[in-house]
Chains A and B, each alone.
Chain A
Amino acid sequence: MVSNSDRPSNGALATVSRRVIEGVLTAWAAVSLTFFALRLIAGDPVASLLSQGLASPDQVENLRRSLGLDAPLLIQYLKFLSGLFRGDLGTSLYTSRPVGTVIAEQLPATAQLALTGLGFALLIGLTLGVISAWKEETSLGQFAASTAGLATALPVAFTGILGLILYRQILGVMPILGHDVVRRLILPASLLGFASAGAIARVVQASLKETMKGPYILAARARGIGHGFRLLWHALRPALPPVVSLTALEAAFLFAGTVVTETVFSRPGLGRLLVTSILQGDYPIAQGLVALAAMFYTTSHMLADILAFTIDPRLRRVT
């Protein structure tokens, strides 16, 4: 197959459109599963709603009726799906506010945390990965490799509490940034990033070692180019595609990680909203968040594929 390397080929387009269809199906499956699973796990929403009110049995049924929760489950599901197609996620059972509005209010805080966290994850992950591949035989390389292992093993629930205990000392290291920035962003984002950095570091290291075996690296070496330069200049770029795919996965993982991080650091955001809405039986909000997460997950995978095509021209020729 002949293709122009400056333009994505039919193969790439086919991959992307397949991804879109897969994405829509995944989102539908996730949303439907959530709809029924929530009702199985979290029980009667009206019971939760009245958990602090002493209603009479008649008053309970009145509330159920006025919220439309007396309709058969299948009818409720179809209503929910048709709403979803019109972009209407319904309203919160507790406040009657549109779910879209409630989510939009919390989104910026989570986006800020997750993006900064992703930045830290890549920064720490790439650094650790390159060092452990470059200085493999030295104690520095060993240290980088074991730090990456530790990062994967320690959950934010643990490092977060540790960070909070030590944060006065941490603040002392970067006093210019001030209390709020360190406490509310740098600390949570770096710990969230740290948790994801381990996986990235390992893939960077493995991928680098693999590409270093390639003939063009040997050619570079023959031209008298040094080891470090070969690694960073010639090997890193072809080593990146698997890292990009992983980063997309990690982005979803980070999104999930914000649940714990937001709770430990008392930050607003979607993670807290999700936990609260499930515990309190506010189904419309929980469903809306899952719909959003499913779309986010599939979109980030699609973007990762497209980015991989951009970084490594070889992929464009493969269908």
Chain B
Amino acid sequence: MKLHQIPLLIILSVILVSIATACSIGDEKTSTVVYGLTLSPSGIDPHLNASSELGIPLASVYDTLVFRDPETGVFVPGLSENWSISPDGLKYTFYLRRDVTFHDGTPFNAHAVKANLDYVMNPDHHSQKALFMLGSLQEVEIIDDFTVALHLVEPFAPLLDSLSDVYLGMASPTALETWGPTEYQFHQVGTGPYRFDEYIPNDKITLSRNPDYAWAPSIYRNSTAKIETIVFHFYEDPSTRAIALESGEVDIVGEILPHDANRFAVSSDFNLYPIPIPGQPMQFFFNTHREPTDDVRVRLALMYAVNRPQAVKTIFDVYSPVAQSPFLASSFDLEPQESFPAYDPDTAAALLDESGWKITGHDNIRSLNGVPLELHIVAPSWGSNPEMAQLIQADWEAIGAHVTLEIAPGFGPLKEAQTNGEYHAIGINFFGTDPDLLRSFYTSTGLYNWSGFEDPELDQLLNRASQIPLDLESRLTLYEEFSSRVREEALVLPIRNYVNLVVVSNRIEGLHFSAQGWYPILIDLQMAP
């Protein structure tokens, strides 16, 4: 062989070998649904990892002790037929179903519940979310094979809500024991309507129908799953999601861009589902520790100055409601009687004049004692926050402020910017079905108290609301009081209620979502006739 032919031969053989290996990728079956996920989590063990994306497949692999009705927010029986809460809120007793087996044949019972909660609470397992959903849970007591009691140190109102979420879904104790915290995520075993077949990181998750499923909760319409196999792929680049749907590569995908959604809304081949996600709206906290946002009049002025309806329309089109409260969920709608300040630049200007920030020179920048009105916004790089921050910047400049904008490309940098404290407004929001998450944001010692506002009244309201599991009405009243206090002090600028734009091919029907908003109820999917 001639030496100079070698490179060409290498090139050709590499291409041919690659094609040959790729050919072995399996072909599609008819009762397979392909579901597009929008980010690739770093780990998918629901007990240990925290990504909201993992619940999309896994909420159908696991059952929970209780379920939450998506419409009413009421708790309904799941793996627990019945439950009782002691009057002091410190003991929860669950009476378990006796007819449930895990996908690996292990029977479900009180020992399984204890094994799961112990797994979550083991400090060596580094749980990133589930652990913090258990409040002050101290001990899991096995009363008999099918009765289990949870003992708390302090009352924790969100506990039932936590136990209805996939992060505290019940996994086979045999599988947890066999695989341990590093490998269990690849070998997950639940009791749900779908079995976990395979997880290849960054590539796919495959589920197959559980034919033995006979304990569906009342929130499911079907008693067993109809679709044989569901494959999940990861579409991290938002602009490729619509293309993947239109080329037939994927049947369902969420987080569609609003301008793509318009096309699907009028298409006869697809259906668009705008799904409200409970929790906090897109929002910016004002820094109450720094001039000039330490003055409530300035904060109010900055709220009046932002044309929120127009900004929301510009970025999210018609799909997102303008937020009017610091929290929204079907069972805890904190939408107040009087809404957050509406767009009114004249009132904004008057408030700034009143607080001493006046236009003196000819550059249209307000100042106080010779100091110009300068504002700094820190916006996370995700979820259209940068675009929104730009519109806010323009609105604030229009009333005579000089505004700088900093984009934080990840949660680490965002936290870094917050720790530096050199911001006047910073964007952050959490999702969740129970308003107790507000405690982390608005109490003096809360981890995410990024407004820096320390107020005994807010502390008392939120701590009290956290401790009355049995009295929903009183909780609601406390949160309403909290909501007016936040509005009065102008601590946060709420922008829009989060809506997940999900598009589904019309060859599939029955798509609906759990109370948490993100998770589809896969058991009810079926092929269109």
A119/B15 contact (C-beta < 8 A), A60-B447, A183-B249 known: yes
Q: Flag A37-66 by CB within 8 Å of B: 1 or 0 each.
A: 000011111011111111111011011001
Tell me if A16 counts as interface (CB < 8 A to partner B). no
Query: Which one of A56, A109, A265, A276 lies within 8 Å of B447 (CB-CB)?
Result: A56
Q: Report the nearest A residue to B431, measured CB to CB.
A: A52
A279/B19 contact (C-beta < 8 A), A56-B447, A264-B240, A266-B234 known: no
Contact between A43 and B126, CB atoms less than 8 A apart: no
Q: Roughly how many angstroms separate A55 CA and B27 CA in the complex, as a whole number?
A: 44
Contact between A122 and B18, CB atoms less than 8 A apart: no
Q: Roughly how many angstroms separate A180 CA and B240 CA in the complex, as a whole number?
A: 16
Tell me if A181 counts as interface (CB < 8 A to partner B). yes
Query: Which one of B18, B23, B201, B416 lies within 8 Å of A116 (CB-CB)?
Result: B18
Q: Flag A149-166 by CB within 8 Å of B: 1 or 0 each.
A: 000000000000100110
Q: Please, which residues of chain A bring their CB within 8 A of the CB of B237?
A: 263-264, 266
Most buried by B among A54, A177, A236: A54
State which residues 236-251 of B face A: CB under 8 Å. Answer: 236-237, 239-240, 243-244, 247, 249
A184/B11 contact (C-beta < 8 A), A48-B412, A94-B42 known: no
Q: Roughly how many angstroms separate A57 CA and B3 CA in the complex, as a whole number?
A: 67
Contact between B243 and A97, CB atoms less than 8 A apart: no
A43/B415 contact (C-beta < 8 A), A96-B126, A112-B22, A177-B19 known: yes
Tell me if B50 counts as interface (CB < 8 A to partner A). yes
Q: Which of B128-136, B296-304, B364-372 contacts A (4 or more CB under 8 A)?
A: B128-136
Tell me if A81 counts as interface (CB < 8 A to partner B). no
A168/B247 contact (C-beta < 8 A), A47-B415, A181-B22 known: yes
State which residues 392-444 of B face A: CB under 8 Å. Answer: 409-416, 419, 430, 437, 439-440
Tell me if B21 counts as interface (CB < 8 A to partner A). yes
Contact between A122 and B7, CB atoms less than 8 A apart: yes
How close is A193's CB to chain B, nearest CB, in angstroms?
Answer: 10
Contact between A280 and B410, CB atoms less than 8 A apart: yes
Tell me if A277 counts as interface (CB < 8 A to partner B). yes
Tell me if A27 counts as interface (CB < 8 A to partner B). no
A269/B413 contact (C-beta < 8 A), A66-B123, A161-B243 known: no
Q: Please, which residues of chain A bring their CB within 8 A of the CB of B143?
A: none
Tell me if B528 counts as interface (CB < 8 A to partner A). no
Contact between A164 and B126, CB atoms less than 8 A apart: no
State which residues 96-143 of A face B: CB under 8 Å. Answer: 96-97, 102, 105-106, 109, 112, 115-116, 118-120, 122-123
Tell me if B43 counts as interface (CB < 8 A to partner A). yes
State which residues 319-377 of B face A: CB under 8 Å. Answer: none
A95/B185 contact (C-beta < 8 A), A53-B131, A59-B131 known: yes
Query: Which one of A42, A168, A268 lies within 8 Å of B410 (CB-CB)?
Result: A42
How close is B413's CB to chain A, nearest CB, in angstroms?
Answer: 5
Query: Which one of B11, B181, B411 lies within 8 Å of A96 (CB-CB)?
Result: B181
A42/B128 contact (C-beta < 8 A), A54-B430, A95-B185, A268-B200 known: no
A59/B14 contact (C-beta < 8 A), A183-B249, A264-B240 known: no
Q: Please, which residues of chain A bring their CB within 8 A of the CB of B410?
A: 42-43, 48, 278-281
Q: Please, which residues of chain B bring their CB within 8 A of the CB of A237?
A: 3-4
Contact between A112 and B18, CB atoms less than 8 A apart: yes
Contact between B132 and A59, CB atoms less than 8 A apart: yes
A185/B202 contact (C-beta < 8 A), A55-B132, A119-B11, A266-B233 known: no
Q: Roughly how many angstroms separate A96 CA and B126 CA in the complex, as a whole number?
A: 9
Q: Roughly how many angstroms separate A67 CA and B127 CA in the complex, as a whole number?
A: 12
State which residues 1-55 of B face A: CB under 8 Å. Answer: 3-4, 7, 11-12, 14-15, 18-19, 21-23, 25, 27, 40, 42-43, 45, 48-52
A115/B14 contact (C-beta < 8 A), A66-B126, A109-B203, A183-B249 known: yes
Contact between B19 and A186, CB atoms less than 8 A apart: yes
Q: Report the nearest B residue to A271, measured CB to CB.
A: B202
Tell me if B99 counts as interface (CB < 8 A to partner A). no
Q: Please, which residues of chain A bring their CB within 8 A of the CB of B285?
A: none
7 pairs across A/B with beta carbons < 8 Å? A47-B416, A51-B50, A54-B447, A97-B182, A161-B239, A236-B4, A311-B4
Interface residues of chain A, those whose CB is within 8 Å of chain B, are: 41-45, 47-57, 59-60, 62-63, 66-67, 91-97, 102, 105-106, 109, 112, 115-116, 118-120, 122-123, 161, 164-165, 167-168, 177-181, 183-186, 189, 236-237, 240, 262-269, 272-273, 276-282, 310-311
Taking A50-B50, A106-B201 as given, write out 12 further A-B residue pairs in contact, using a Cβ cutoff of 8 Å, ordered by the A residue number. Answer: A43-B412, A43-B414, A66-B126, A97-B183, A112-B22, A119-B18, A164-B244, A180-B27, A181-B19, A186-B19, A268-B200, A276-B40
